[in-house]
Every structure is written in C-alpha cells, then in structure tokens.
Structure 1
Amino acid sequence: MIDTGLAGKVVLVTGGSGGIGEAISRAFAAQGARVAVHHHAGEREPPGRARWAHVTPHAEAARSLADELTGAVSVAADLAAPDAASRLLDAVEDRLGPVDVLVNNAAHCETPDSIGELTAEGLERHYRVNAVAPALLISELARRHRPERPAPCVVNISTDAARAFPGQIGYGTSKAALDGLTRATALDLGPTGIRVNAVAPGPVQTGWMDDAMEAQVSDLVPLRRVGEPGDIADGVVFLASRQARWVTGQVLQVAGGHAL
C-alpha cells in the first residue's frame, strides 16, 4: 500500500463543496488529511447571464460536506475581494493550523463569452477568480511559510483547453494565465521547497451534460469516456503526495487524451 504522506496535513480546497471540488475534498479526507472546504461567500454574478463553475457556491453544501468528513471545516470567502487570500488563510489557520496543501479549484465561468460578446466586466470577473485569486493565495501561503516547517505545496486546477478555448475567451485565457502562473511560481518558490503544479481536466461530467451530449463528447476522447470528478481528484492527490516530491512546475493533463 502506498503511503501518500498526507495523513494529518491541512488541505485548503477552494470551491471545495461540489463537483470536482467535492471529489478533491473527499479524496484528501480519505488520506487522513484535515480539509478546509471553501465556499463562496454570497452571490455576485449579475442577473441574466448564464454561468457555471466547478463548484457549488452555497454555504449549506460546504457545511454538510465538512460535517461528513472527519476533521474537516467549512470556510467562506469571496475570492474576488482584494483581501480574500489573507482572510481565508487566517480562517483556516485559526481552526486547523497552517496550510500544508493549497488546491486552487474555485472557478468562475459565464456566458456569453465569445470574442464578439466580451465585456470588460465579464473579463474582470473571470480573471479575478481564475487567475488573480490563485496568485494572491500562493503569494500569501509563501509569505507565511517558516523554514522550520515542512514546505507546503500547491495544486492549481486548470483546463486542457487553456491553450485555445473558442467560445469561452474569458474562461480559457484566464486558465492559460493560471498555467503560466504555475510555472512562474514554481521557479520563484523552488528554493524554498514549495512545489507548485496544476491539473488540467478534460470534459468532466458534473451534471452539465445530458446523455446525448455525454455520448457526443465521449467520441472526442481517445479513451472513449468523459471524466468523473474522482479522476481529477486522484491526479491532485498524487501531485500533493510524497510520491511527487520532485515534481514542480508541471501541468498534468487528466483528460483521457482529449487535447492530444
């Protein structure tokens, strides 16, 4: 049996209460980690614009999951707020202790988002949550690290379409920025021992595909199926584990070969 070395570690999963985030929270808890399940504090999207995300933003879902998982807590923050990083890490430290693993999973996506329909406000919302918030959380985590403690690690959740995502310009380019952030911070923080990696999911069934769409999308995947949230969670756990101790600056595609 492989020992991931994650038992007793403090893991913060942003957007950790639904979909891929819930699977990640459950996977770390199964390794004996103490999980802080983050949820969005309130609703800020303007009415009339469709949106989707990899997370369930409601406090009730986060509290319910945290109650179910041993040693877990739920924490709230609006990641678009300028002080979200410090406030969120303060909340986790107060309840569980210093963060050992940061998973930047929370994502904002809305439509319309094609090149002819972009707005400054929409782009800003995408970038604030998908790129700026992870950058500030990584920065704050690094500032709090003390050399006498084992170095923390970071896993960002990107998308395998970050290279080019037509029809989802704000979302796709903000995730491309997250990929660049992963590599840059891995280089900056390498001397401190802090590892930074990313998982890039392919199409994952989190309830947004009906049977017909799932069959259509499966035909585009070399392994001939869409992903499940647990597929992504397993990749995240690996990158946070001791087995990945010499891995940093990588964007791991967990996508069934979708973007090859």
Structure 2
Amino acid sequence: MPSGDRVALVTGAARGQGAAIVRRLVADGYRVTAGDLLIDELTASTAEFGDRVLAVQLDVTSSEQWQAAVRATVERFGGLNALVNNAGVLHRAPIAEETAAGFEGSWRVNCLGPFLGLQAALESLRQAEGAAVVNTCSTGAVRPFPNHAAYGSSKWALRGLTQLAAAELGRDGIRVNAVFPGPVETPMLDESTQARLADRATLGRLGKPSEIADAVAFLLSGQATFITGSELLVDGGQCLQIG
C-alpha cells in the first residue's frame, strides 16, 4: 500500500518525541491522528498540517477514550494501518519513598495505556494491509537506573508486552516492535538532567526527537516488513556504559 494511503495513530503527540513522530509521518505521506491529554497544545502544534492530522484529546489509561480515538480515525481517514504508543510518564523516587499511587500511575500510563491502545485498534489493524505497531520503550528496560522503580519496571513490562503481542499477532499480519530511546532533548528531562546526561554521554550529546522519529518511521515502513518483535536501541551508546 502506498504511504499516502496509510493512516497512523500517535499518542503523546503534543510535544517532544510524539510531535516529531507526527511530523515525520506526515512528511512520509501518512495521515495521522495525534492524541494527547494536552489538547490545546496539541491543536496548536498540529495546525500547520491541515486536514492531514486529526487532533484528539486522549487519556491513554481510558478504554473509552481509546475506542473514541480509533473510531474518529476510521471515520475521518477510512482505516488505520499503524499505531505508535508513544505516551509515557517519567516518575522518579527511591524504593523506600515510593508510594502505591506513584508506582501504579507509572504502570497505568506506560504499560496499561499501550495495551488498551492495541486492544482498541486491533480490529482495524487486522483489516489493514501492512499493519504495524511501535511501542516507545526505554533504555530503562535494558539496564537498571536507581530511583526509577516505577518507571523502569513499567517499561520492562512494556518490553514484555511488545514481545507477546508480536508473537500472538503475527499471523494476523500485524508487526509489533519497540524503540528504546536513551536520553533525548525533550520536556520530560529538565535542563540540569539534560546537562548531566550529555556530559557523560558516549557520543557527547543527547538524542534529538527527530532521531527517535526516524527509527519509528523505519519500523513502520515497507523497509521493515520482515521485522517483528524487534528491540531497536536509539540511545547514542548509553547502554555501552558501565556504572
């Protein structure tokens, strides 16, 4: 199917990596439903794309809102070929100080959200040609970072969900892969954290949102049609470091 006939739904799309993914997919000829809780910011950031992008308010922990987003996508664009589960939250706390609410909140957004999205989009993806899902995981699901119990464990769970979905849905013609970003210049990291991480980075800098978007676009593309269950590190060598 030509890329101009392809439709993607991207979460966490108002800023950072999500906004970059929307921009890249539009440039590749996709029509995109962009979802985020920050609807005013999302509407402003996607206005330049005109009728190629549909902005929807989406709480990824809500099954009802997921169903509405998929329904709106199909009504507007006629189908759905690609799902990018990019929305996520970064929550830090030592184990001794972590709360049940803080721990559960990370899991609800970072793991339950992608599950609900996959479930809501499943029938549309089954009907689509060349269907693909990309989950935004993290290097926190490759190596342990202290004070990240909630975030890291939720991303480990998303890593497992990606593998399970790839194994289960392959015969339905749905590929499921994950990108594992390292530190990236986004609002998720404050300036002091960005400076600290850049200072010790293998390549001497942080990643750019567009570099994560390039990886996502590849995994969705016709160049990746024999790739499923893949884990693509886009971390500038962070996982090469010891300690």
Q: CA deviation at 1:256?
A: 0.7
Map residues 27-38 of structure 1 onto 2, 5 A cutoff.
27-38=24-35
Q: Distance in 2 between matches of 1:94 and 1:166?
A: 45
Q: Is the 8 A contact 1:107 1:130 kept in 2?
A: yes
Q: What do the CA deviations read for 1:11-55 (whole angstroms, capped 9, x no partner)?
A: 111011101111011000111111111011xxxxxxxxxxxxxxx
Deviation (angstroms), 1:169: 1.1
1:103 to 84, 97, 107: 84
In terms of mean alpha carbon deviation, does 221-230 or 173-182 score higher?
A: 221-230
Q: How does 1:2-151 map to 2 (within 5 A)?
A: 5-40=2-37, 58-70=38-50, 71-111=52-92, 113-147=93-127, 149-151=128-130
Q: Deviations over 1:188-225 (max 9, x none)?
A: 00111100001110001114343x65453224322221
Which position in structure 2 is the counterpart of 1:52?
Answer: none
Matched AA of 1:171: Y
- Write the deviation string for residues 222-248 of structure 1: whole angstroms up to 9, x where unpaired: 222111111100000000000011000
Q: Judge conservation of contact 2:80–2:124 (CA < 8 Å) in 1.
A: no
Across the aligned residues of Structure 1 and Structure 2, the Cα RMSD in angstroms comes to: 1.8
Give the equivalent residue in structure 2 for 1:202.
Answer: 182
Kindly indicate whether the alpha-carbon contact (under 8 Å) linking 2:136 and 2:180 is maintained by their aligned counterparts in 1: yes
**Secondary structure at the residue paired with 1:176?**
helix
Assess, with a 3 A threshold, how the Cα gap between structure 1 residues 257 and 204 changes in structure 2: closer, same or farther: same
After TM superposition, the score normalised by the length of structure 2 is: 0.90
Query: What's the secondary structure of 1:83's corresponding residue?
Result: helix
Deviations 1:61-102 (A, max 9, x none): 211222211411101122222433322211222222221110
Shift of 1:133: 1.4
Aligned to 2:196: 216
Q: Please give the alpha-carbon distance, in whole angstroms, between the structure 2 residues aligned to 1:33 and 1:89.
A: 16
**SS of residue matched to 2:155:** helix
TM-score in terms of structure 1 length: 0.85
Letter in 2 for 1:156: N
Aligned pairs, how many?
Answer: 237
1:5–1:241 Cα contact (<8 Å) kept: no
Q: Match for 2:113: what amino acid? A: A
Judge conservation of contact 1:27–1:237 (CA < 8 Å) in 2: yes
Q: Residue 138 of structure 1 aligns to which amino acid in structure 2? A: L
- Name the CA distance, whole Å, in 2 between partners of 1:227 and 1:251: 17
Residues 66, 74 of structure 1: 8 Å contact kept = yes
* 1:242-253 equivalent positions in 2, closer than 5 A: 242-253=222-233
* Equivalent residue, structure 2, for 1:229: 209
User: Secondary structure of the residue that 2:141 maps to in structure 1?
Assistant: coil
Q: CA deviation at 1:115?
A: 0.6
Structure 2: how far apart are the matches of 1:187 and 1:132?
Answer: 19
Partner Cα distance (1:251, 1:220) in 2: 24
SS in 2 for 1:16: coil
* Residue-by-residue CA offset, 1:148-179 (whole Å, 9 max, x unaligned): x4141100001112232321111111011111
Q: Using the alignment, how far apart are the partners of 2:194 and 2:99 within structure 1?
A: 30
- Kindly indicate whether the alpha-carbon contact (under 8 Å) linking 1:161 and 1:259 is maintained by their aligned counterparts in 2: no
C-alpha spacing 1:238/1:123, structure 2 compared with 1 (3 Å): same
**C-alpha distance in 1 between matches for 2:219 and 2:183:** 20
Q: Distance in 2 between matches of 1:145 and 1:7?
A: 17
Supply the AA of the counterpart residue of 2:25: F
Letter in 1 for 2:23: R
2:133 equivalent in structure 1: 154
Partners in 1 of 2:135 and 2:14 — Cα distance?
16
